Structure formats: C-alpha cells, structure tokens
Amino acid sequence: MGRKKQGNGRDSNPKYAGTKVYAGQMVKAGDIIVRQKGSRVIPGKGASMGKDFTVFSLTDGMVEFAERKGKKIVQIVPISQ
C-alpha cells in the first residue's frame, strides 16, 4: 500500500522565484530580473513591477542593485553607444 500524503493531498508546482539577472549583466527591454513574493526588491530607473511583483526591465542596459532606506532597489543603467 502507498503511504498517505500529509496535508491537503494536493501538491503544487514550483514557482521558480528568485533573481534571474545579477548586477553587471546586460538586459533587453522586457527581460525579467527578479521573481518574488511581495515587494522585497523594488524597481528603480529603467525597471518596473508587474502585478505578481515580478521586476522587469523597461530599457536596454546593465543591471545595478542598490540599497536605499533599507530597501533593495534594482535599476537599469543605459549603455551609451
């Protein structure tokens, strides 16, 4: 006999949260930078937040992480041609 699962008997799929692009890496407009639950990382210049708290880039450039007032901020620094 199989062993009975504990809890509600349903197993949810993994959500693959976390940082997808790190500081110093290049991104294109629309690239996902951070997948998260809640606003742990907030967007700065050149970035925006989706309704599920995903931080993504609005412009092409290099990713930069900073801290302001105790909050982690991600911003996109445009690369001049």
pLDDT in tens, 34-79: 999 999 999 999 999 999 999 999 999 999 999 999 999 999 999 8
The DSSP bridge partners found for residue 5 are: none
Is 11's pLDDT higher than 70? yes
Is 2's pLDDT higher than 70? no
Q: Which domains does the chain have, with CATH numbers?
A: 18-77 (2.40.50.100)
